[in-house]
Structure 1
Amino acid sequence: MVERTRTGRFPVGLRRALIAFALAQFICSFAGSNMNVMITDISEDLGTTVQGVQLAITLFLLVMAALMIPGGKLTDILGRKWCLQLGLLLFGTGALLSAVAPNLTVLVIGYSIFEGVGTALLIPPVYILTTLLFQDIGSRARAFGAISAMGGIGAVAGPLLGGFIAYAVDWRAAFVLQALIVLLIVLLARRTVQDPLPADRSQPFDVGGAVLSAAGLVLIVLGILAADDDPRLTLGLVIAGVLVLTWFFVSVRAKERAGREPLLPTLLFRNRASNLGLVTQNMQWLMVMGTSFVVSTFLQVVKGYNAIETGAVFTATTLGVLLSSLFAERMARRRAQRTLILAGFTVTVAGIGLLLGVGTAVDSIWGLIPGLFVIGLGLGGMLTPSVNVVQSAFGEDLQGEISGLSRSISNLGSSLGAALAGTILVAGVNGADPNRAYLWAMLAVAGAGLIGLTAAWFLPRTRPA
């Protein structure tokens, strides 16, 4: 049981571990969004196109989503701290490789592959170790709140920090910053992060299930990316992805009946609250990345703003997330998690309406600020409750699996946001009316919010934590 000091604070060792966990989630979310404001700089420097940079961003998010479930399973087999350290090593190596990338291919290898795989290895241990180290409900909720808030802040502050770095120094410096933060996490985690449970290397690893789950997700997202080139290819890839995922679930059921251990137990999909919570997580991160990518790309490619101007406008979103996160714990004591998630989606969709209304009526970059601020308020208020709903639905024996599934679903939402909304925008950027493409892209993001709102409505009505 976690002990508190008389001031209500965690012991020093746990505080440092929590800082390491929160920074790990921050840097992974930051890596997913900071590239959005550097699209023009990167494409010009590497001699590629906007679509090329979009592909690198989407592949990074997709690799995370596709490998997060296997990564969660590996934490139990190889050890949670060991996977955390290996993930940090791969992420830091990828950041340094990206910083010196001479072309798009090397950038994809360093950023999309190395950082993507590193994230898939390091994020599941963050959530599993948090569950194990912070055992009582109140402490765990506070820890999850801090980690989720830092994830949200990393995602929405990525454009702001990335734009400032690209303008003041160079876009490559953003990757150097990532490597430095990884080094700080390694130093913090080296002594303060302890794994309460030993690794069980005798557990089997479902290689076939890992391949099928990853292949299915990859096919679906690649199909969406191909929508502006060949609709028939899109349909074929999406159908293939659905069939592969169906094959995955059939194989999981068959292995359970045969007494073998699958990659994911079907038990994870029998909890109504968790299933609905996963839907809300997916839609939340689709909205985070969709908004960031669409607005950033539109301002740079269509409106001609530079990285610092584009990043500065996202200060409003960052402030919104910070403000709602500061009151998250207090609100959790007064309102049920279902209520907070419902309110978050409602406010976020309203923010998109404000973004399109005021932002279109006011012919200035400052017209976007009210809508982006409201979007930040909504997102910051519901990210933590959704994580709590899912993680708290299962005991410690399933934390590795549910953590991997939860992070996979969230990152799949991010990759879908960049792929779906990004493809709608990019397909119309060079057309006769790029403003119309921007409108449709943001309406797609708002549609995701309505799906999340519907799922949240059916969450169990529970009392405040």
Structure 2
Amino acid sequence: MTGTSASDALRAVLVPLALAQFICSFAGSNMNVMINDISHDLHTTVQGVQLSITAFLLVMAALMIPGGKLTDKYGRKRCLIVGLALYGVGAVLSACAPGLGVLIIGNSILEGVGTAMLIPPVYILTTILFTGVAARARAFGTIMAMAGLGAAAGPLIGGLITSAISWRAAFGFQALVIVVIILLSRAITDPVRPDPTRPFDVGGTVLSAVGLVLLVMGILVLKNNGWVAIALMVAGLLVLLWFFLWIRGRERSGREALIPTGMFRNRTSNLGLVTQNIQWLVLMGASFVVAAYLQVVRGYDAIETGVILTSATVGLLASSLSAERLAKRRAQRTLVMWGFALTIIGIGGLIALSAVSANPWISAPGLLFMGLGIGLMLTPSVNIVQSSFPEEEQGEISGLSRSVSNLGSSLGTAIAGTILVATFTSHAYAAALITLAAIGLIGFAAAASLPASRTAADAAPA
């Protein structure tokens, strides 16, 4: 195969992988502009829609690591196709949902499980198929740009479809995109043979999933019953401690654990994971808060809300397009720090300007700065984590990385959303955003603690 034809073949592989990441990120944010439409149509509340959104993100986070392990047992391409199929079925079921329960089954469970199965193969196949440092850096940059674009453009596209047709058509759109991805995925060849005899840690899977679910559910019920919320969160932390002891015990007995405990001993990777978690927590939390506030308090419809949130999309696109050029001249730590600084400035603008005027367009500058900040740090954060481990451990770290990011998304919607929906006032709006800004400062501190000596291109997984 000539160099040109090989390059064309890799581009053909990258298209479905990037689209798969786009649609999963899109699904996590597009429902934000449908809050009023879904709650009225299904006779539920804003809290009910919040539960569906948070549960979708939580299912992804809880099952992303097991999803990565299944690729070794059954094959990366097979898991990708099965995950896409599950996602598609969930999208169709959500489009036909007669009530909140069916919507949760379709969107939160089936789409969540499907995403947990298909996302790890996206990152593992990218790592294996793109062997050159520069080529791999560009491939990860493309996929992360599509992740950010999907999350940021979800409200606009979802708003357009919802206003023009209905919120159900937005799920139909997802199902159509899934069909296209499955057809394009025929060009993918799994370069590593699966090992059906490889053991799977069922106990670790159950413990990690239960622990995360209890933790997030505690946050969701905080406004209704503080003692129950505290009990759930404490129980979640105890189960996660049990999970850690479980996987350490399996390792000591010579059995394969769900995830090696050595993954948690790499300081650089740990700091990178913290930045990943917080950037998605802030992005998804702020998106939900702004979208819900504009619809429920200001009375804006789906398309009007989506258009206003487009400011974040514009910012994200602008910084993502410049990310590769900046990565050649600046250390990854610097880019992530700049990203958090711009994001925090954006949140500050949202709070300050909303106190000046009731015009919803006053939110645009803050959203623009947020988009610029998030787009700037998405790719460097992934490169930091992925490059901290050798190729034979890319399956485990890819699953952990995606799990941590999606946990951040679910925590952002749960924490900021719970603060907002408690009273739905301008004070609650400001309190939710202040909380996100404070968490963003933690992300800035984690980024400042990262090594500063390597550029993003230097640190692409080898």
TM over 0.5: yes
Q: Which residue of 2 aligns with 1:287?
A: 282
Assess, with a 3 A threshold, how the Cα gap between structure 1 residues 234 and 10 changes in structure 2: closer, same or farther.
Answer: farther
Q: Which residue of 2 aligns with 1:125?
A: 121
Q: Which residue of 2 aligns with 1:80?
A: 76
Q: Secondary structure at the match of 1:260?
A: coil
**TM-score, normalised by the number of residues in structure 1:** 0.97
Q: Which residue of 1 aligns with 2:385?
A: 390
Between the aligned partners of 2:77 and 2:60, the Cα distance in structure 1 is: 19
Which of 3, 12, 27 aligns to 1:16? It is 12
Q: Sequence identity of aligned pairs in percent? A: 62
Q: Cα distance, 1:181 vs. partner? A: 0.6
Assess, with a 3 A threshold, how the Cα gap between structure 1 residues 392 and 423 changes in structure 2: closer, same or farther.
Answer: same
Between the aligned partners of 2:189 and 2:163, the Cα distance in structure 1 is: 40
Q: Cα distance, 1:3 vs. partner? A: 8.5
Q: Which residue of 2 aligns with 1:31?
A: 27
Between the aligned partners of 1:221 and 1:144, the Cα distance in structure 2 is: 29
Which of 318, 332, 347 aligns to 1:352? It is 347
Between the aligned partners of 1:463 and 1:385, the Cα distance in structure 2 is: 11
Q: Which residue of 2 aligns with 1:60?
A: 56
Map 1:33-432 to 2 at 5 A: 33-190=29-186, 192-429=187-424
Between the aligned partners of 1:89 and 1:345, the Cα distance in structure 2 is: 36
Q: Cα distance, 1:161 vs. partner? A: 0.8
Assess, with a 3 A threshold, how the Cα gap between structure 1 residues 99 and 286 changes in structure 2: closer, same or farther.
Answer: same
Structure 1 residues 180-231: Cα deviation after superposition (integer angstroms, max 9, x where no partner): 11011111111x2111110011110000000000000000000000001000
Which of 421, 435, 441 aligns to 2:432? It is 441
Q: Cα distance, 1:362 vs. partner? A: 2.3
Between the aligned partners of 2:72 and 2:269, the Cα distance in structure 1 is: 21
Between the aligned partners of 1:463 and 1:54, the Cα distance in structure 2 is: 40
Q: Which residue of 2 aligns with 1:450?
A: 441
State the one-letter code of the partner of 1:224: I
Between the aligned partners of 1:51 and 1:358, the Cα distance in structure 2 is: 27
Q: Cα distance, 1:12 vs. partner? A: 1.6
Q: Cα distance, 1:352 vs. partner? A: 0.6
Q: Cα distance, 1:428 vs. partner? A: 1.6
Between the aligned partners of 1:428 and 1:134, the Cα distance in structure 2 is: 50
State the one-letter code of the partner of 2:416: A
State the one-letter code of the partner of 1:36: N
Q: Secondary structure at the match of 2:328?
A: helix
Between the aligned partners of 2:452 and 2:364, the Cα distance in structure 1 is: 34
Structure 1 residues 114-139: Cα deviation after superposition (integer angstroms, max 9, x where no partner): 00000000000000000000112211
Is the 1:360–1:367 Cα contact (8 Å) retained in structure 2? Answer: no
Q: Which residue of 1 aligns with 2:460?
A: none
Between the aligned partners of 1:4 and 1:99, the Cα distance in structure 2 is: 44
Regions of 4+ moved over 4 Å = 2-5
Between the aligned partners of 1:257 and 1:405, the Cα distance in structure 2 is: 21
Is the 1:43–1:52 Cα contact (8 Å) retained in structure 2? Answer: yes
Is the 1:320–1:374 Cα contact (8 Å) retained in structure 2? Answer: yes
Between the aligned partners of 1:118 and 1:273, the Cα distance in structure 2 is: 30
Aligned pair count? 456
State the one-letter code of the partner of 2:105: I
Q: Secondary structure at the match of 1:314?
A: helix
- Structure 1 gap ranges (5+): none
Between the aligned partners of 1:328 and 1:249, the Cα distance in structure 2 is: 36
